[in-house]
Amino acid sequence: MAKTTATCDVIGIGNAIVDVLVRVDDGFLGGHGLAKGAMTLIDATRALALYGDIGGALEVSGGSAANTMVGVAALGGRAAYVGKVRDDALGALFTQDIRVAGVAFATAPARSGPPTARSFVLVTPDAQRTMCTFLGAAVDLAPGDIDEPTVAAAKITYLEGYLWDAASARDAFAKAIAAAHRHGRKVAFTLSDAFCVAKHRGAFQKLVRDGVDILFANESEITSLYETASFDEALQRARGHCEIAALTRGEKGSIVLKGDEVHVIDATNLGPLVDTTGAGDLYAGGFLFGLTQGYDLGACGRLGSLAAGEVITHLGARPRTSLKALAAERFPRLLEP
Amino acid sequence: MAKTTATCDVIGIGNAIVDVLVRVDDGFLGGHGLAKGAMTLIDATRALALYGDIGGALEVSGGSAANTMVGVAALGGRAAYVGKVRDDALGALFTQDIRVAGVAFATAPARSGPPTARSFVLVTPDAQRTMCTFLGAAVDLAPGDIDEPTVAAAKITYLEGYLWDAASARDAFAKAIAAAHRHGRKVAFTLSDAFCVAKHRGAFQKLVRDGVDILFANESEITSLYETASFDEALQRARGHCEIAALTRGEKGSIVLKGDEVHVIDATNLGPLVDTTGAGDLYAGGFLFGLTQGYDLGACGRLGSLAAGEVITHLGARPRTSLKALAAERFPRLLEP
């Protein structure tokens, strides 16, 4: 089908989640049998038990792809989001927050079934985050929630690997890929989490090879995907499998690959590290914003690094300062009209 | 001319220098007007004055390309060295040490003129090294010291940028490049030092573009060569200019480039950092050894990283443990016959 003029830069599809941010010590993780740095799925009973054990918490809208879309919008891009909340208080909070951030969000909330998803983000003193996620209403995202004209209107459709945990969301995922490609659009995908990759390795390998144009992964995710001993070996595999790969390495920066093009991007240090939650999400946000503006891949990587650098200086996975102003200050020539 | 069977893996040509290792504090550098991390050339008078101001010192054979050849030999490669010493005590020390290390060294010592070169390697508590070099006899290296059949017998001729500081050594340098290429051999070159690059930028750019097959540079050297703000921009320039580039970044590891091939290599941590002297030299040694054995570029980079990782755990720029045993332990399959 012929490509029409895009009215949106990036549409993100993911699990719509409210983050419950809690500062804990390592003993708390051990006491609850939680693997540090990972995302563990929990059921409603365990979610209630965790709620009981934590003290003060900060509830903020999250969800990996949602954070990324907020990043795109914060840089001045046109972003939309698809994800399922319930018609409850947390669902209303999520909806209000993402719209205030400038992201178009029109997915109908569920009127029955489990409550809005929440993720306990347990931040240890080393700034690592360990997540326990109760997926709630998010698992009810279904193909009916994917509107083909909306997908067709976006330059890039961005999908998170976490969606793969629920069957109907997987179907929605596949529908979105087909719709995007039918309209000549690009599909971006984040591997989300090394444990998520381990669970769905075969399916993710196939996706990266056959369905994805732009891949985002961090070091533990990409080495898990290809089961390699070193980052370099995983990188060699990724190069052959998708058009663009942006591989993040925390403080070591990131590597951006496209065909025979390669960029080595440094991490951006904007202050002391407080909480790594959202670093990968915001990196993708900055990168995708750059890509939809037609910037070269090095600039895309630097924008990703900048957005990630901002979000790790405070608690929570969404930017607190103007990314647009930050980018204009750092890259004055880039953002000129 | 037709390529004959190589009887040597790498021949290194450089300033033959004895290192005088001294631990100092930052105040000593300030007091002597020395820029930390750089290599400053000094004359005989200043060399004598420095000698007077330092306390206990350790004299060990050094010289950048010489260290690299010792690394090649320590891994089991066939290495040779060309460099000028005087027929004095330090010259005898240098000659004895490099031969004991298994490197063929046949350059005739000068029978008159300045004494053997020495470099004061001032190691500060942060493990940085600041060098003051009195080039002495080394500057008298001349085209007559380059034996064409010897160069022709080596798979790779390795040259250090430091040679460029003296006119007759520059002529020797050019003769070696011409001889190597005439016999179908490869030429490798290290930029040596950011200050050295700043002094000879135009000449080095031309060399990299026209005369060099394999380039070694660290981050400050390559960004100085191309006067770029970021490592990534310098990398883009280097890619187009030589067949293979190995760009080192200290604790951030290294990037190896060849055509559309790229490898991202981690630094190897073998213990607490004591003295970075020789890190770049030994990286080149490990890399060149791998290359002459026909290993893939990723393995070459990992061998370079391993050799550099060893040399920074102790004072001095030459390995103290068996690199061959270390490599066999880390890469058992690689070194099988």
Q: How many CB atoms are located within 10 Å of the residue B226 CB?
A: 17
Within-domain flag for A230:
yes
- Please compute the mean of the pLDDT values over residues B7-21 and round it to a whole number: 95
Confidence (pLDDT) at A260: 86
**H or E stretch covering A65:** helix A64-74
- Please compute the mean of the pLDDT values over residues A271-293 and round it to a whole number: 94
- Please compute the mean of the pLDDT values over residues B133-151 and round it to a whole number: 94
**H or E stretch covering A150:** helix A148-152
Q: Is the pLDDT of residue A1 over 90?
A: no
What is the rounded distance in angstroms from the CA atom of residue B337 to the CA atom of residue B335? 6
Q: Is B231–A259 a contact, with Cβ atoms under 8 angstroms apart?
A: no
Q: What pLDDT, in 10s, does the model give residues A218-240? A: 999 999 999 998 999 999 999 88
Q: What is the ipTM of this complex?
A: 0.73
Q: Is B230–A262 a contact, with Cβ atoms under 8 angstroms apart?
A: no
Q: What pLDDT, in 10s, does the model give residues A158-170? A: 999 999 988 999 9
Q: How confident is the model at residue A334 (pLDDT cuts 50, 70, 90)?
A: confident
Q: What pLDDT, in 10s, does the model give residues A286-295? A: 999 999 999 9
Q: Is the pLDDT of residue B325 over 90?
A: yes
- Tokens representing A192? 């989300």
Confidence (pLDDT) at A40: 85
Confidence (pLDDT) at A285: 98
Instruction: Quickly count helices (H) and strands (E) in chain A.
Output: 13, 14
Q: What pLDDT, in 10s, does the model give residues B189-206? A: 999 988 899 999 999 999
- Measured between beta carbons, the chain B residues lying within 8 angstroms of A237 are none
Q: What pLDDT, in 10s, does the model give residues B262-314? A: 999 999 999 998 888 899 999 999 999 999 999 999 999 999 999 999 999 99
Q: Chain A: nearest CA to B264, how far in angstroms? A: 5
Which residues are paired to A131 by β-bridges? A39, A121
Residues with Cβ within 8 Å of residue B114, at least 6 apart in sequence: B44, B86, B135, B136, B137, B139, B140
What is the rounded distance in angstroms from the CA atom of residue B297 to the CA atom of residue B179? 25
- Please compute the mean of the pLDDT values over residues A149-160 and round it to a whole number: 97
Confidence (pLDDT) at B107: 96
Q: Determine which of A71-75, A116-120, A153-157, B11-15 has the lowest per-residue pLDDT on average.
A: A116-120
Confidence (pLDDT) at A56: 74
Angle (CA) B214-B220-B225 rounded to 5° is 60
Is the minimum CB–CB distance between B96 and chain A shorter than 8 Å? no
Q: Determine which of A9-23, A118-132, A161-175, B105-119 has the lowest per-residue pLDDT on average.
A: A118-132
- Mean pLDDT (chain B, rounded): 92
Is the minimum CB–CB distance between A263 and chain B shorter than 8 Å? yes
Nearest Cβ partner for B235 among A233, A235, A264:
A264
| Residue listed under structure tokens 């022709």 | B152
Confidence (pLDDT) at A3: 65
Is the minimum CB–CB distance between A299 and chain B shorter than 8 Å? no
The CATH number assigned to the domain holding A251 equals 3.40.1190.20
Residues with Cβ within 8 Å of residue B123, at least 6 apart in sequence: B21, B22, B23, B24, B129, B275, B277, B315
What are phi and psi for residue B313, nearest 5 degrees? -90, 0
Q: Is B236–A298 a contact, with Cβ atoms under 8 angstroms apart?
A: yes
What is the rounded distance in angstroms from the CA atom of residue A128 to the CA atom of residue A142? 32
Q: Is B236–A264 a contact, with Cβ atoms under 8 angstroms apart?
A: no
The domain containing residue A303 runs over which residues?
8-16+64-88+96-109+137-330
Confidence (pLDDT) at B77: 97
Is the minimum CB–CB distance between A250 and chain B shorter than 8 Å? no
Confidence (pLDDT) at A31: 87
Confidence (pLDDT) at A202: 96
Q: Chain B: nearest CA to A201, how far in angstroms? A: 23
Residue A267: closest CA among B251, B51, B309: B251
Nearest Cβ partner for B232 among A230, A235, A263:
A263
What is the rounded distance in angstroms from the CA atom of residue A136 to the CA atom of residue A164? 15
Confidence (pLDDT) at A316: 84
Q: What pLDDT, in 10s, does the model give residues B306-322? A: 999 999 999 888 999 89
Q: Is the pLDDT of residue A53 over 60?
A: yes
Percent of chain A with pLDDT over 90: 72
Q: How confident is the model at residue A245 (pLDDT cuts 50, 70, 90)?
A: very high
Q: Is A262–B262 a contact, with Cβ atoms under 8 angstroms apart?
A: yes
Q: Chain B: nearest CA to A144, how far in angstroms? A: 43
- Measured between beta carbons, the chain A residues lying within 8 angstroms of B253 are 252
Percent of chain B with pLDDT over 70: 98
Q: Is B235–A260 a contact, with Cβ atoms under 8 angstroms apart?
A: no
Is the minimum CB–CB distance between A231 and chain B shorter than 8 Å? yes
Nearest Cβ partner for B266 among A231, A236, A265:
A231
Residue A201 vs residues A4, A59, A193, A205, A263: alpha-carbon distances, Å:
35, 32, 11, 6, 27
Question: Which residue of A lies nearest to B254 if distances are taken between CA atoms?
Answer: A264
Judge contact between A295 and A331, C-beta under 8 A.
Answer: no
Question: Which residue of A lies nearest to B249 if distances are taken between CA atoms?
Answer: A252
Q: Chain B: nearest CA to A279, how far in angstroms? A: 19
- Please compute the mean of the pLDDT values over residues A67-96 and round it to a whole number: 96
Q: Is the pLDDT of residue A199 over 90?
A: yes
Q: What pLDDT, in 10s, does the model give residues B77-104? A: 999 999 999 999 999 999 999 999 999 9
Is the minimum CB–CB distance between B266 and chain A shorter than 8 Å? yes
Is the minimum CB–CB distance between A148 and chain B shorter than 8 Å? no
- Please compute the mean of the pLDDT values over residues A65-69 and round it to a whole number: 97
- Please compute the mean of the pLDDT values over residues B207-213 and round it to a whole number: 94
Q: What pLDDT, in 10s, does the model give residues B147-159? A: 999 999 999 999 9
Confidence (pLDDT) at B3: 65
Pick the residue of B232, B247, B261, B303 with the most A CBs within 10 A to test the interface with A by mutation: B232
Within-domain flag for A121:
no
- Measured between beta carbons, the chain B residues lying within 8 angstroms of A333 are none
Q: Per the structure, how many domains does chain A have?
A: 1
Q: Position A266: which residue type?
A: D
Confidence (pLDDT) at A336: 58
Is the minimum CB–CB distance between B300 and chain A shorter than 8 Å? no
Question: Which residue of A lies nearest to B240 if distances are taken between CA atoms?
Answer: A261
Q: Position B195: which residue type?
A: F
- Measured between beta carbons, the chain A residues lying within 8 angstroms of B232 are 263-266, 298, 301
Q: What pLDDT, in 10s, does the model give residues B44-70? A: 888 888 878 887 788 888 999 999 999
Nearest Cβ partner for A235 among B232, B233, B264:
B264
Q: Is the pLDDT of residue A131 over 90?
A: no
Q: Is B260–A260 a contact, with Cβ atoms under 8 angstroms apart?
A: yes
Is the minimum CB–CB distance between B257 and chain A shorter than 8 Å? yes
Is the minimum CB–CB distance between A88 and chain B shorter than 8 Å? no
For A193-223, the DSSP string reads -HHHHHHTHHHHHHHHHHT-SEEEEEHHHHH
- Please compute the mean of the pLDDT values over residues A79-108 and round it to a whole number: 96
Q: Which long-range contacts (CB under 8 A, 24 or more apart) does A252-258 make?
A: A252/A219, A252/B252, A252/B253, A253/A305, A253/B252, A254/A283, A254/A301, A254/A304, A254/A305, A255/B264, A256/A287, A256/A297, A256/A298, A256/A300, A256/A301, A257/B262, A258/A297
Judge contact between A248 and A192, C-beta under 8 A.
Answer: no
Q: Is B266–A301 a contact, with Cβ atoms under 8 angstroms apart?
A: no
Q: Is the pLDDT of residue B337 over 60?
A: no
Q: What pLDDT, in 10s, does the model give residues A246-262? A: 999 999 999 999 998 99
Q: Is B264–A231 a contact, with Cβ atoms under 8 angstroms apart?
A: yes
Confidence (pLDDT) at B290: 97
3-class DSSP string for chain B: CCCCCCCEEEEEECCCEEEEEEECCHHHHHHCCCCCCCEEECCHHHHHHHHHHCCCCEEEECCHHHHHHHHHHHCCCCEEEECCCECCHHHHHHHHHHHHCCEEECCCCECCCCCCEEEEEEECCCCCEEEEEECHHHHHCCHHHCCHHHHHCEEEEEEEHHHHHCHHHHHHHHHHHHHHHHCCCEEEEECCCHHHHHHCHHHHHHHHHHCCCEEEEEHHHHHHHHCCCCHHHHHHHHHHHCCEEEEECHHHCEEEEECCEEEEECCCCCCCCCCCCCHHHHHHHHHHHHHHCCCCHHHHHHHHHHHHHHHCCCCCCCCCCCHHHHHHHHCCCCCCC
Pick the residue of A237, A257, A260, A262 with the most B CBs within 10 A to test the interface with B by mutation: A262
Is the minimum CB–CB distance between A251 and chain B shorter than 8 Å? no
- Reported pTM: 0.83
- Measured between beta carbons, the chain B residues lying within 8 angstroms of A217 are none
- Mean pLDDT (chain A, rounded): 92
Q: How many CB atoms are located within 10 Å of the residue B233 CB?
A: 16
What is the rounded distance in angstroms from the CA atom of residue B177 to the CA atom of residue B152? 10
